[in-house]
Homo-oligomer: A and B are copies of this chain.
Amino acid sequence: MDIKIATEIGKCLSNPTRVQIMEWLKEPEKNFPPHETLQHFNDGVCVSYIQEKAGLSQSTVSTYLSNMEKCGLLVLTRYGKWSYLKRNEKIIQEYIDFIR
């Protein structure tokens, strides 16, 4: 991992709500209600659930998640009108290897 990407990841992890989102996504079934159309969390959690739980505006949370996805911390999967986000454990591990 290069220093530029590591810094972008650091920026994502410099805000308590975004750090909290990373923590919530460790255990979706514990932290979120079940999805209505999907019977699992295989692709993570939909944006609106995360937004609701974060208690910030839709636009703010959407921007957070977009940036977290751009730097690789999260993986985005779209099904119809829903977007699901899950942790990208591979990139997280690369980041850990970089800073350790």
Q: Which residues from chain A sit less than 8 Å from chain B, CB to CB?
A: 3-4, 6-7, 9-16, 19-20, 22-23, 92-93, 95-96, 99-100
Give 17 pairs: A residue, B residue, CB < 8 Å, sorted on A.
A3-B16, A3-B20, A6-B13, A7-B16, A7-B19, A11-B14, A13-B13, A13-B99, A14-B14, A19-B99, A22-B99, A92-B100, A93-B100, A95-B99, A96-B96, A96-B99, A96-B100
Q: Chain B residues near A100 (CB, 8 Å)? A: 92-93, 96
| A80 CB, nearest partner CB in chain B, Å | 31
Whether A7 lies near B14 (C-beta < 8 A) is yes
Contact partner of A10 among B4, B13, B93, B96, CB < 8 A? Answer: B13
